[in-house]
Amino acid sequence: VVYPDGTEAGLDFTLRLRFELDLYANIRPIRLFEGVTSPLAGVKAGDIDYVILRENSEGLYAARGAGALLRGQVAVDTLVQTRAGIERIVRKAFELARQSNGAPRDGVRRVTCCDKANVLRSYAFFRLVFDEVAKEYPDIETEHALVDAMAMHLVLKPGHFNVIVSENMFGDILSDLAAATVGGMGMAPSAEVGDKNGFFQAAHGSAPDIAGKGIAIPYGTILSAAAMLDWLGRGHGDERLLRAAKQIRSVTETCLAGGLLSADLKGKSSTAEITGNVCDRLAA
């Protein structure tokens, strides 16, 4: 459903949640599970396991509803980045790296700053603030990558990455590319969190063109539920929620490795069959 100007109507709900609840960190894990075939030649389970951290409240998407179309001849949207906004998303990236096991290829905990600092001042500013914050985390390796090069790196050397942090739009685009390397958008969970609120959903959004056909991959949504329980458990110090999140991930791994795959994953299982098996195993 679109407005007369061609923009999607449904985005207003999601963007309002992000801005009004200050869900500034969009965490998108990218992991290749046992049983899932990557389109990348020679890549196996365990070779891809990183996080794309997308700044969720500023950047180019903050211009939603505020751009201008002048006399049908000139269109303008503004890319906005603030020091406070960059600092908090970069700190989140370093904290995630500290909690991780490092990059699959070498076990190094590293944060990669993805930008277009060689062209635009707003991205040069993002990189400047990144480098300032990085000094507070001497135990974490840092590096920079231009977004066009990053699109290539995610295909050619995905095992090198641990945590990637970027501006809003770049994070959106790269996370879709990354999801394709681990089985598609149906395998992509996401957590949109702030200091007080959290919102959890599969990264792909809705797919009305396949509604009711029983071919959608439910794993992205299931893993998003695990991320929600994990976030709540950490925030409230509740071990029950942390155990539940761990159990959901464990069952997901078992189902994927056991061949419960939809057509998109080169399997024959329906959405209901996969979901039913996951629920049964959790209840056992």
**59 DSSP 8-state letter:** B
DSSP code at position 8: B
Q: Nearest 10 degrees: CA dihedral of 228, 230, 231, 233?
A: 120
- Of 49, 115, 172, 230, which is the active-site residue? 172
Distances (CA, A) of 269 to 90, 189, 256: 40, 20, 11
Whether 148 sits among the annotated catalytic residues: the reply is yes
Three-class secondary structure of residue 238 per DSSP: coil
For residues 90-100, one letter each, b for 16 or more C-beta atoms within 10 angstroms of the residue's C-beta and e for the rest, the string is: bbbbbbbbeeb
> Listing from the earlier edge strand, what are the strands of the sheet with 163-166?
141-146, 110-115, 163-166, 49-55, 25-31, 189-193, 198-202
Of the candidates 24, 116, 123, 219, the residue annotated as catalytic is 116
- Catalytic residue among 61, 123, 137, 219, which? 61
For 47, list phi and psi in degrees, rounded to 5. -80, -20
- Whether residue 172 lies in the annotated active site: yes
Of residues 22, 47, 77, 176, which has the active-site annotation?
A: 176
- Of these residues, 12, 131, 148, 195, which one is catalytic? 148
Asked if 280 and 54 touch (Cβ cutoff 8 Å), the reply is no
Active site annotation includes 176: yes
Q: Is residue 219 annotated as part of the catalytic site, yes or no?
A: no
Residues with a known catalytic role: 61, 116, 148, 172, 176
